[in-house]
Amino acid sequence: MSVIFGEYKPDQPAHLQDGLLMADGVQAIANGYAPIGQFAAAENGTLGAPCVGAGAYRAAGDVFIFAATAGKIRRYQAPGFTDIKTGLSSTAEIGVRFCPYNDLMLMTNGVDDIQKFDPATPSATSALDASAPTARFMAVVRGFVVAGYTDGDPLRIAWSDNGDPATWTAGTGEAGFQILPSGGDVTGVVGGEYGLIFQENRIVRMSYTADDAVWQFDEIATDVGCIAPWSLATYGKLTFFLSNKGLMACDGVSVSAIGSEKVDRTFLHMVDRSYLSAISAVVDPRNSLYMLSVPSASPANQVLLYNFALQRFTTAPITSQRMFPSLALGMTLEDMDAVYGDLDAVALSLDSALFRGGYPLVMLFDGNGMLGTLSGDNMAATLVDGMREWFPGRRARITGVRPFTDATTATVSILGQNSLGDMPTETAFTARSGGGFYRMRQSWNLSQVKLAIPAGAPWSFVQGYDLEAVAGARA
């Protein structure tokens, strides 16, 4: 009897479901699940204090990586972090947002003046302009910088002049502002050809009109909004976010529930509202993943992964203060020799994406404030299938399980019970035959198969299992 692993759907009962109850330490692929790399620290990547925001971009042919603490903005290079701005009053709840505009990187924390980084003067930032408001959120919409929650007003949206991020005085050029009359606090701004304004209970689309009004504001969703600003992450025209109703995706026209009857109840049950500010989210474009940390603690130690191409979820035990989209700095062999002292001391493969300049990748700060990537050895993986009654009304005498995987080191467990109200009994098996079977003698009315692959084990896929069993006595 062969079983192909289905979707991870913990919201559904274990009995009579066609999916997985656990898919941890893995990512969904078209025909199964694949491993995820463990955290790999960047050389000299200690930030020195908890990270409250991070960003990266490429300008003037170089890659620039930034991170913010409560009082500083720091720039990362292979020798380590250096201060480019001090004396800030940032908080973990609001954090620091980074917004590229042409060759500039704009930075805002909702309290202090918006800062700009110019590659022409890479050792320090400067205030954007006296006319610029304070803002919690920023995005580039067409040629404008659009800011949200400006000058301390949670309902105020403001925008710069077209093509000039330093001009904000209303009526000068096309600069202006708008007060949103309903929908709750602004919780995010997303840019592009049009703008999306996320509020606690509403989503508004702003479209350029090129007339005296400058923008047209259209409500595209009511009673659905973003409750956790740091849950917003965008790829192309898709924006993912956490709402009061669960996990959602917005394409600029409509909103769809991506976690309904799959992970929403489980996720919202785990969420501690007092830790919502500890959420961070990022999109990994190479693997089509929306990655969202579970805010049960600070720093968060669990991440939910959503493959938006396949519409399938998994989880991973990743501890992070902040995840963000970044670019590899790029290093020559001479650079690596200078930083590491000895190429033999480089812990990562020389083919690692971390060393390919401009290569898009997800970066994060772990629980100790160390910068790094998920490019280490495979993390531990655990998959638990749904509860199955192999022979209705009879016991199943299970004699062997053969996982469909190229992992040669694994543990197969049977979680067995005789009625739906019983607590399952778990029995583990580690001996693997030459044909890939794990031999056993188990007899249960109801059973689940659990597959665990240890951290560091080499493997590339897992798809399901083959189970040998015969019918036994009647239940």
Residue with more model confidence, 297 or 70: 70
**Pairing label, strands 97-101, 26-29:** unpaired
pLDDT for position 424: 94
SS3 state at 365: strand
3-class secondary structure, 347: coil
Domain residue spans of the chain = 2-36+380-474, 40-373
pLDDT at 248 (0 to 100):
97
Q: Is the pLDDT of residue 43 over 50?
A: yes
Please choose, from the candidates 134, 124, 133, 44, the residue with its C-alpha nearest in 3D space to the C-alpha of residue 87.
124
DSSP 322: E
3-state helix, strand, coil in the chain (%, to 5): 5, 50, 45
Predicted local confidence at residue 330, as pLDDT:
61
Mean pLDDT, residues 308-326 taken together: 96
pLDDT of 370-399, one tens digit each? 999 999 999 999 999 999 999 998 999 999
**What would the DSSP string read from start to end of 236-304?**
TTEEEEEETTEEEEE-SS-EEESSTTTTHHHHHHH--GGGGGG--EEEETTTTEEEEE--SSSSB--EE
Lowest model confidence (mean pLDDT) among 53-67, 195-209, 346-360 = 346-360
Q: Name, in order, each residue with C-beta under 8 angstroms of 224's C-beta and a sequence gap of 6 or more.
A: 201, 202, 203, 243, 244, 245, 248, 255
Coil, helix or strand at residue 230: helix
Q: What is the mean pLDDT of residues 205-212?
A: 95
For the whole model, what pTM was predicted? 0.91
Position 472 scores a pLDDT of: 84
pLDDT at 191: 96
For the sheet with 233-235, list strands across it: 233-235, 238-243, 246-250, 255-257
Say whether pLDDT at 7 is over 80: yes
Amino acid identity of residue 132, one-letter, is: A
**Class assignment of domain 2-36+380-474?**
mainly beta
- In sequence order, which residues have a C-beta less than 8 Å from that of residue 431 and are 6 or more positions away? 438, 439
**Model pLDDT for residues 262-281, shown as the tens digit of each residue:** 999 999 888 877 888 889 99
Let me know: does 230 contact 183? Beta carbons within 8 Å: no
Contact between 155 and 179 under an 8 Å Cβ cutoff? The reply is: yes
Q: Are 174 and 163 in contact (CB under 8 A)?
A: no
Least confident range from 21-25, 72-76, 432-436: namely 432-436
What six digits make up the tokens of 38?
């463990």
pLDDT computed for residue 49 by the predictor: 96
Q: Has residue 351 got a pLDDT over 90?
A: no
CA 11 – CA 9 distance, rounded (Å): 5
SS3 20: strand
Angstrom distance (rounded) from CA 291 to CA 230: 11
Query: For residue 429, what are the CA distances in angstroms to 2, 260, 325, 397, 401?
Result: 19, 35, 40, 16, 10
Strand 446-453 relative to strand 438-444: parallel, antiparallel, unpaired? unpaired
Q: Given a cut of 80, is residue 48 above it in pLDDT?
A: yes
Instruction: Indicate the CATH number for domain 40-373.
Output: 2.130.10.10
- Identity of residue 459: W
